[in-house]
Structure 1
Amino acid sequence: MNRSASPPPSFPIDELLPRIRDSLAAHPRLVLEAPPGAGKTTQVPPALLDAPWLAGQRIVMLEPRRVAARAAATFMAGQRGEPVGETVGYRIRFENKVSARTRIEVVTEGILTRMIQDDPMLEGIGALLFDEFHERHLAADLGLALALDVQAGLREDLRIVVMSATLDGERLANFLDAPRLSSAGRAFPVEVAHFPARRDEALEAQTRRAVEHALAAHPGDVLVFLPGQREIARVEAALGQALPAPAPAVLTLHGELPVEQQSQVLQPDPQGRRRVVLATNVAESSVTLPGVRVVIDSGLAREPRYDPNSGFARLDVVHVAQSSADQRAGRAGRIADGWAYRLWPQSQRLEPQRRPEIAQVELAGLALELAAWGNVALPFVDAPPPGALAAARDLLQRLGAVDGAVINAFGKRMLALGTHPRLAAMLLAPRGDDEKALACDLAALVEARDPLRSRSDALAERWQALAAFRRGRVSADASRSGLAALDQAARQWRRRLRVDTAPADSVPAHALGDLLLHAFPDRIARQHPSDPFRYQLANGRSAKLFDDSALYGEPWLVISELRDDPRDARVLRAAPLDEARLRRDFPQRFTSEDRVVWDAGARRIAAQRESRFDRIVLDTRALAKPDPSRFADALVDAVHQLGLDALPWTEPLSQWRARVRCLRAWLGELDGLPDLSDAALLASLDRWLKPALAGKTRLDALDEGAFSEALKSGMEWSLRQRIDALAPTRISVPSGLERRIEYGFDDHADDGRGAPMPPVLAVKLQELFGLADTPRIADGRVPLTLHLLSPGGKPLQITQDLRGFWDRTYPEVKKEMKGRYPRHPWPEDPWSATATHRAKPRGT
């Protein structure tokens, strides 16, 4: 270490450092819990540098935020008396401060993912540290899953440390099968109070009053948590000249600030003034602001949420979780007793923990990373929702990024851009420099909030406002700051893509849509032939224009924003496109197919040639000579639409089906019995029914015998005989005759799973004289339900206990029935009487 390094300050985590080193020597994973101020971010990495298991390799620490990454690296380097980029460095987007001598690299989330994807062996890296994991960013979850996969398959020696301030450490330790260590923090008591808003008071006015109160009532600096830059600017303007003399320094802190301004916020005021720091949640953890005694918390943050209108995750203002609110309040107790003022009602309840991003954002980027990695079964702390992941993979197919589940060359180029796959596909589509510059404008436009105050649905109006802004003109319905942000974002894209061509002043009407279709291939839309306000989308859905739409009359659109609605989806933002360009860029998605389908209205087969773009039907024409081999498919579709009742069921076949279903429930160990439920039969129509429909043009051409054999297809003859033995259709009774057994299955019983109904034997009472016990089937497991009938065939008793009937009920039945049916036997002793189905001979 450089001799000029200052003696390191002490931190609460210092006494835990030997245990951390020892734990990692014995186990390759560790969960470290440490509250803000404990020193985990800046003290743990240097403490591991000389560990024998590290063997001179590098340590890479993930920081979720750029401000924190720079601050942590700068602090650790300063402790060693070195500039950043020597032993300690950092890498963030568009900035690299590392050298060949660097052994501790602090990186942001996207950087870590690229490092692992580019070099799965992680050559020269001995430890990965995931700091502030409780923030549960999608990129951190992916990075940890990739790291665990590398450790399990390639690098058993790799150490993984997950560090957090507010997290369910026990759950995480169980998931990682890792030891768990906890550090004390450095905190003083903080008095928490709620600072009520006045009626209809804006956030900036309430915040200004809270700041004025804090400066008057308490010592020290004031840290104000606000959701984003927009709110910071408004509060900064509201403070203005209202602050008391001597006026404190008002500073801002967010991720987009230049390094110099960030460094200024992280140091005491050089003139000794009190400070008011207006910060986003970047100040929640990782960075330490000196001198703060008061925290004012809006209780809000901007976090990514999936926006189904745009198809992107966008930053929305949301209420923070209780864990974040507690962490923010704790910032006031770092150096002495503190105070925290919350700008929401005390009655308002917050969610206890922050929800992981993976559960609430669009997953196309994650799906592309998984396709590049080649293993979709990664160990995620919280698995991605299957529905969202399936939708993301479908989008990648449409974008042309994958072949099946495997990333292709175009997908790898998209991944290298490090942006959302939709934007990456569009940015790679242009052929010339003019189109590339326009694509950069579009990338800025679709990511940003609307710069216009009007409700127009034409994306072209936004681009025209941007072009006018560059010429020094801003229309009355446009936001100057919004257009300036758009212009800056487009400039960054041009610089990133090495586009030297200046943006155009004007473009043809279809130019925007001709590029945008590469970002939204699922939302390419064609005007409905019978309704000019309605459009058919490539993904099979439909959407409608507003009555005053600026896009009315356009035959083709690409929709960048769509309000989904069960009744009627609405086009919020779109641009027209040129069909010739669509055919040139996506020729493989234009198809022509001969189809034989079931016409439900006419209840017959219809044969037609259908031209389509993706799932948009462009043209349909009747076929004069359809292929007969395809009729069976259409008839199977008919059964899907009409249901199984459309097939020629007979009573014996319905009973056979009920017998099989009952036996599956009664004798679960009996192998080979098929599932004959409605759902199973409909799901397997292609297997059992389609062969029987070959050569037929109508459903009613399927006769009962062929249908019966189709239903029983695949069953061995021995199994069919076994069914007849276990669940017979008839049974011999003491009278010498055979009587029918009726089977039934209740599909709604047992919570909707279905259950067998008791099998019924309906028989005249006289035919059972001398039989003591109720007959049984299914290897004696199931008693028959006896419907004991009078000589006239009317039910006298329903029972499964024949012995009990003879003992207790028969005398009463005999007494009542003997006079009504005098020609039939009613013996005193039914046990020894001869069973008969006949009346007594005349005269007896």
Structure 2
Amino acid sequence: MKTLPITQVIPEVKEKLLNNNRLVLQAPPGAGKTTALPLALLDEPWLKGKKIIMLEPRRLAVRSSAARMAELLGEKVGKRIGYQIKMESVQSKETQILIITEGILTRKLQHDPSLEDVALIIFDEFHERSLHADLSLALALESQAVLREDLKILIMSATLNTSAISELLDHAPIVQSEGRAFPVDSIYLPTHTPQPNKKELPSFVHTLLHGILQKEEGNILVFLAGVREIKAVEKLLNNTKPKDVFVSTLYGNLSKEAQDRAINAPPKGFRKVVLSTNIAQTSLTIEGITVVVDSGLQNVSTFNPFSGMNKLESNFISQDSATQRAGRAGRLSEGKAYHLWHKSKILLKHDVPEILLADLSQMVLELACWGNDEIDTLSWMDSPPSSAINHAKKLLQQLGALDEKEDITTHGIAMSRYGLHPRLAHMMLKAQTLGLAYEASLLAVLVSEKDIYRNAFGSSDMRERVSVLHDVARKVAVDTQFINLKQCQYLLANAKRIEKVQKETIDLEMLGILMAFAYPDRIAKQRYEKNNSYLLSNAKGASLHKSDELFHARFLVISDLDARSKDATIYKAIEVTQTQIEEHLQAQIQQSDEVDWNDEQQRVEVRRVQRLGALPLRETQRMNTSNEEVLDVLLEALGELGLGVLNWSKEALLLRQRVNFVNAHQVGFPDFSDDTLLENMDEWLAPYLSGITTLRACQNLDFYNILLGQMSFEQTKLLDTLAPTKLKVASGSHIAIDYTNIEQPVLAVRLQEMFGTKSTPTVLGGKVKLMIHLLSPASRPMQVTQDLENFWNNTYEEVKKELRGKYKRHYWPDDPLTAIATSKTKKHM
């Protein structure tokens, strides 16, 4: 340990911790901070028989660092060095250093907020900024401030904004270790080489590795985004690799044995190629790496609080991550790092913290148990987004963990004790009341852990998976070509820790409703029969692959889906029946009378509908149409259809035109324009719609009298004076006036009936001359004029000649101003 770089700063760390309860340590990868530093603190006076707890972001790092520290002490893990991860604990009364994953600390703080048996909490690799790390630190700082002033907190990181974290810790002192790293030559893509896309990447990496294996020595570490990419490259390599090359993979859900194979030195005479996710970026030391190949990508699950779904995205890493990955090649000697992007590419300086991307429902439940409903008062490096907090509170209220005031309920406290996601904890509690806790425990581990089916198996059905898992538990043979037997055994061990009482037979039919307890917002109903599109109870959409075995299912509960497109893709689901929903989720089913416009029937319909969220379950037609909602829907429909669908009589249209004509020239009458009538139907039309639900009934209304009712008696009389419907002409006939053009009304009259009329007739009290359309005896327009006097004096002679030739039986005098107006022929005059 004396040769480790961290050794140089250990005296300073001891001195600072002796005089301060908060400290920040920055040390690069390989400095020895994870293993050497905690061991160096075992004899410090402030320990006084208490423990050091060290947090690691990953289970693999917890186990490997515990093993290394125990080895350095010449002991087995479980004595002075212990560890605890989800569903696994190796420790004893002798344990002085306990290495845990970050979520375990939250559980310990909830059980004992003062952590009486703990002297120091070490947050290792804090730069990774996991959600649990941020929450654990916030709770630990509050515990230190309120209950345990003597509790010491040490933040360690390889790359960290040390000034920001120091400020968060009330300007805690900072210790820096220079570390020790050999030079690493960074090699970027040539400018003329396009950056490979996701589909091209496995083949590109495979070709690059063959070239590296021929010209470079030592072991190679390849960083890829996820398991799918790792398996694709592994398959290509295993078909073409040299005989002395040993290929291993490294990712979170591998067995401990497989992870150890990746970390340890390869068999004698072999070189090793390790294909890894960013799990190998920090904390772990992989033997003999001299070359790093970095795809520059990582899979990040981003939670969308507005859809309530996670979206798995392949994103570029930050500058910090690129530096850490490259540094893996410079641990033991000079190395090389192949960056599969162009040198000119701009990367973010730091990774985005998980607290800004994740589902915060479990964190909000933890804080509710902690008793702090003022989330902003805690110490955060980055404050959690309000949208995610609000979504979490809404979900927890739906699950019964929080009441209407957002205070934790007895049910919520019971949920928190499981240490599961609130959805699964709620499911477990509900299952217990039904005697189905064993079945629920199988569902819980299947939902939260890696799938038991291999990649070639494409069914989304969770019921099948539970059946397979139960078969494995009962020692029934399963097809290992499609089923990962080791994963099944791992899940069964985890399930037994959740529910110890096992069963010989299980109720497969009730699994759907168990899942519905966990995901009430993701109960889904087929939009149309024999269709793969579903509507979720949270009003979002999702689609099932057409070849999926659940394609026929009318109702599903979805546990795993993404939000990559308009409709999320369903990955894991289980069928549930409507009868089960109605029986077991009755409290969440709401009944209401819904009023809608039936476009096909052209009518308002009132239906009594039972809904689970956005999903209609049952509906019945109702005949009661006396409520205001019916009127509102009818008026809205008429507004969208327009006034043209109503049956306007000639009298009603003429009344509107006359009023609009008067209003165009002077103010004082109701506005009967289309826009105003549409906008104010609730005033002039609504009183006449009582009991009416159909468009046909609306069309039978007397719109002339309805509009007339909008005017006073005085206005009606004045309208007859200003804009009469007819004008008595010289012949004695009453001719209708056309007010279609509200700017210029028209009088269309036979020319003969206007003999003797010297000046143009007017309306609006003489203010507006009528436009006279002078017609032939056959009612064809012969002349249009607004100046009759000028017509008689200058144009009549020419018109008379034409009319005499065509209409010889009619009277065409030489002097029209002295002639008698008539509508008759000469014979009847």
Q: TM-score range by the shorter chain?
A: 0.5 to 0.7
Instruction: Give the conservation status (yes or no) of the 8 Å contact 1:267–1:290.
Output: yes
Report whether the alignment pairs 1:381 with 2:381: yes
CA offset at residue 390 of structure 1? Answer: 0.8
Q: What residue is the counterpart of 1:436 in the other structure?
A: 438
Residues 286-331 of structure 1: CA deviation (Å, up to 9, x unaligned)? 2223322222222233443337899565765433222111111111
Q: 1:526 to 1:39 in 2, by over 3 A?
A: closer
What is the alpha-carbon distance in structure 2 between the residues aligned to residue 278 and residue 393 of structure 1?
40
Q: What residue is the counterpart of 1:354 in the other structure?
A: 351
What is the alpha-carbon distance in structure 2 between the residues aligned to residue 268 and residue 358 of structure 1?
36
What is the identity, as a one-letter code, of the residue corresponding to 1:578?
T
Instruction: Give the conservation status (yes or no) of the 8 Å contact 1:304–1:316.
Output: yes
What is the identity, as a one-letter code, of the residue corresponding to 1:444?
L
What is the alpha-carbon distance in structure 2 between the residues aligned to residue 249 and residue 456 of structure 1?
33
Among candidates 294, 298, 301, match of residue 301 of structure 1: 298
Q: What residue is the counterpart of 2:175 in the other structure?
A: 181
Q: What residue is the counterpart of 1:190 in the other structure?
A: 184
Gap regions ≥5 residues in structure 2: 600-604, 640-681, 685-829
RMSD in angstroms over aligned alpha carbons? 4.9
Report whether the alignment pairs 1:416 with 2:417: yes
**Greater C-alpha Rg:** 2
Instruction: Give the conservation status (yes or no) of the 8 Å contact 1:422–1:519.
Output: yes
What is the identity, as a one-letter code, of the residue corresponding to 1:416?
R
What is the alpha-carbon distance in structure 1 between the residues aligned to residue 455 and residue 574 of structure 2?
16
Deviates most, 565-574 or 288-297: 565-574
Identity of aligned residues (%): 38
Q: 1:296 to 1:555 in 2, by over 3 A?
A: closer
Q: 1:20 to 1:615 in 2, by over 3 A?
A: same
Instruction: Give the conservation status (yes or no) of the 8 Å contact 2:442–2:466.
Output: no
CA offset at residue 148 of structure 1? Answer: 0.7
What is the identity, as a one-letter code, of the residue corresponding to 1:99?
S
- Give the 3-state SS of the residue equivalent to 2:46 in structure 1: helix
Report whether the alignment pairs 1:514 with 2:513: yes
CA offset at residue 9 of structure 1? Answer: 3.3
What is the identity, as a one-letter code, of the residue corresponding to 1:296?
V
What is the identity, as a one-letter code, of the residue corresponding to 2:517?
H
CA offset at residue 192 of structure 1? Answer: 0.9
- Give the 3-state SS of the residue equivalent to 1:121 in structure 2: coil
Residues 706-748 of structure 1: CA deviation (Å, up to 9, x unaligned)? xxxxxxxxxxxxxxxxxxxxxxxxxxxxxxxxxxxxxxxxxxx
What is the identity, as a one-letter code, of the residue corresponding to 2:500?
R
Report whether the alignment pairs 1:291 with 2:285: no
Among candidates 207, 210, 219, match of residue 209 of structure 1: 207
CA offset at residue 427 of structure 1? Answer: 3.8
What is the alpha-carbon distance in structure 2 between the residues aligned to residue 533 and residue 192 of structure 1?
49
Report whether the alignment pairs 1:501 with 2:517: no
- Give the 3-state SS of the residue equivalent to 2:153 in structure 1: strand
What is the alpha-carbon distance in structure 1 between the residues aligned to residue 236 and residue 553 of structure 2?
46
Q: What residue is the counterpart of 1:75 in the other structure?
A: 68
Q: What residue is the counterpart of 2:319 in the other structure?
A: 322
Residues 433-486 of structure 1: CA deviation (Å, up to 9, x unaligned)? 777337624752686679788998876687789999998787xxxx95576687
Q: What residue is the counterpart of 1:426 in the other structure?
A: 427
Gap regions ≥5 residues in structure 1: 1-7, 643-697, 701-844
What is the alpha-carbon distance in structure 2 between the residues aligned to residue 127 and residue 620 of structure 1?
65
What is the identity, as a one-letter code, of the residue corresponding to 1:407?
I
Q: 1:309 to 1:447 in 2, by over 3 A?
A: farther
TM norm structure 1 = 0.63
CA offset at residue 587 of structure 1? Answer: 3.6
CA offset at residue 360 of structure 1? Answer: 0.9
What is the identity, as a one-letter code, of the residue corresponding to 2:395?
L
What is the alpha-carbon distance in structure 1 between the residues aligned to residue 577 and residue 234 of structure 2?
47
Alignment coverage as a number of residue pairs? 629
What is the alpha-carbon distance in structure 1 between the residues aligned to residue 413 and residue 444 of structure 2?
22
Q: What residue is the counterpart of 2:767 in the other structure?
A: none
What is the alpha-carbon distance in structure 2 between the residues aligned to residue 305 and residue 86 of structure 1?
40
What is the alpha-carbon distance in structure 1 between the residues aligned to residue 67 and residue 470 of structure 2?
41
What is the alpha-carbon distance in structure 2 between the residues aligned to residue 217 and residue 187 of structure 1?
23
- Give the 3-state SS of the residue equivalent to 2:39 in structure 1: helix
Report whether the alignment pairs 1:149 with 2:142: yes
Q: 1:557 to 1:79 in 2, by over 3 A?
A: closer
What is the alpha-carbon distance in structure 2 between the residues aligned to residue 107 and residue 571 of structure 1?
34
Instruction: Give the conservation status (yes or no) of the 8 Å contact 1:494–1:500.
Output: no
Query: How does 1:19-30 map onto structure 2 within 5 Å?
Result: 19-30=12-23
What is the alpha-carbon distance in structure 1 between the residues aligned to residue 354 and residue 265 of structure 2?
35
- Give the 3-state SS of the residue equivalent to 2:430 in structure 1: coil
Q: 1:536 to 1:621 in 2, by over 3 A?
A: farther
Deviates most, 189-198 or 414-423: 189-198
What is the identity, as a one-letter code, of the residue corresponding to 2:122?
L
Deviates most, 132-141 or 464-473: 464-473
Instruction: Give the conservation status (yes or no) of the 8 Å contact 1:309–1:561.
Output: no
Query: How does 1:611-626 map onto structure 2 within 5 Å?
Result: 613=612
CA offset at residue 528 of structure 1? Answer: 8.1
- Give the 3-state SS of the residue equivalent to 2:31 in structure 1: coil
Q: 1:309 to 1:493 in 2, by over 3 A?
A: farther
Q: What residue is the counterpart of 2:35 in the other structure?
A: 42
Instruction: Give the conservation status (yes or no) of the 8 Å contact 1:437–1:499.
Output: no
Residues 744-799 of structure 1: CA deviation (Å, up to 9, x unaligned)? xxxxxxxxxxxxxxxxxxxxxxxxxxxxxxxxxxxxxxxxxxxxxxxxxxxxxxxx
CA offset at residue 355 of structure 1? Answer: 0.7
CA offset at residue 567 of structure 1? Answer: 7.7
Instruction: Give the conservation status (yes or no) of the 8 Å contact 1:295–1:332.
Output: yes
Q: 1:103 to 1:358 in 2, by over 3 A?
A: same
What is the alpha-carbon distance in structure 2 between the residues aligned to residue 530 and residue 547 of structure 1?
13
What is the alpha-carbon distance in structure 1 between the residues aligned to residue 349 and residue 106 of structure 2?
29
Instruction: Give the conservation status (yes or no) of the 8 Å contact 1:609–1:623.
Output: no
Q: 1:619 to 1:301 in 2, by over 3 A?
A: same
- Give the 3-state SS of the residue equivalent to 1:41 in structure 2: coil
Residues 368-389 of structure 1: CA deviation (Å, up to 9, x unaligned)? 2112111132222111111111
Instruction: Give the conservation status (yes or no) of the 8 Å contact 2:168–2:379.
Output: no
- Give the 3-state SS of the residue equivalent to 1:89 in structure 2: strand
Q: 1:626 to 1:161 in 2, by over 3 A?
A: farther
Q: 1:73 to 1:483 in 2, by over 3 A?
A: closer
Among candidates 224, 227, 248, match of residue 226 of structure 1: 224
Residues 216-254 of structure 1: CA deviation (Å, up to 9, x unaligned)? 323333222233444444434433374446x14444444
